[in-house]
Structure formats: C-alpha cells, structure tokens
C-alpha cells in the first residue's frame, strides 16, 4: 500500500464548478499537509499548508484535513480556466522536511 493515494484523474469540469480533490494516507505520523499546483513544465506552487484537523480557507480554496480518517481534501470554488493544472497533495512527519507526494490529479476547467 502506498503511503499517499491520490486519484490521478483526469478531471474535466465547466467553468464555475466546485472542484473536490482528495488524498488518503496510511502513515498516522504525518502531521503537515500541503497542496501544490503545477502547471505544465513548471515547478509545483504551494497553495495550502495545514498542520491540524479542520478546515483552512484562502480565497476560492479550502483545505480540509481529517486525521481520524487519514483523509485530506482541497475544494476549489468558482473554478476558472486558469485553475487548469495538476494538483498534488503532499505530507510530512514532524521533525522532517521530507515530503511524500500523491501522484497528482490533472484538472481541466472548460470555459
């Protein structure tokens, strides 16, 4: 079993849709959870960073962490064509900078 599982998609939605991206993990030692966005042929860009269970909101983005279920989510409201990218979840244990990534979900938002 992989430490971090992420549905690779691809996912195609119309502009304005609410998008839900999810990852599950098996290592209960993970304490820090991140979502990255990666455009084609670019480096990953940090979108959201959380370290506790619950929700964190930043503009159109909401990150949700459920440590009891070992499940994290990223919600994108009012999706835009510029949101078309690959979204990667990543997590690390306490005391370590090593990130373990999901495989990434390719999202396309159609105008």
Binding site for other proteins (CB under 8 A): 31-32, 34, 36, 41-46, 49, 51, 88, 90, 92-104
Kindly state the smallest distance separating residue 46's Cβ from other proteins, in Å.
Answer: 6
Kindly state the smallest distance separating residue 10's Cβ from other proteins, in Å.
Answer: 13
Placement of tokens 């839900």 in the chain: 20
Q: How far apart are CA 109 and CA 76, in angstroms?
A: 11
Kindly state the smallest distance separating residue 104's Cβ from other proteins, in Å.
Answer: 6
Nearer to other proteins, 74 or 90 (CB): 90
Nearer to other proteins, 39 or 71 (CB): 39
> Strand 54-58 relative to strand 105-110: parallel, antiparallel, unpaired?
unpaired
Nearer to other proteins, 57 or 78 (CB): 57
Through-space distance between the first and last CA atoms of the chain, rounded to whole angstroms: 38
93 contacts: CB under 8 Å, gap ≥ 6: 27, 29, 30, 31, 32
């Amino acid at each position: 079993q992989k430490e971090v599982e992420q549905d690779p998609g691809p996912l195609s939605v119309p502009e304005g849709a609410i998008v839900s991206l999810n990852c599950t993990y098996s290592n209960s030692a993970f304490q820090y959870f991140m979502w990255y966005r990666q455009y084609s042929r670019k480096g990953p860009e940090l979108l959201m960073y959380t370290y506790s269970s619950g929700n964190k909101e930043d503009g159109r983005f909401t990150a949700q962490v459920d440590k009891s279920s070992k499940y994290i989510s990223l919600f994108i409201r009012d999706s835009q064509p510029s949101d078309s990218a690959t979204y990667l979840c990543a997590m690390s244990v306490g005391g370590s900078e090593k990130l373990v990534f999901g495989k990434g979900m390719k999202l396309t938002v159609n105008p």
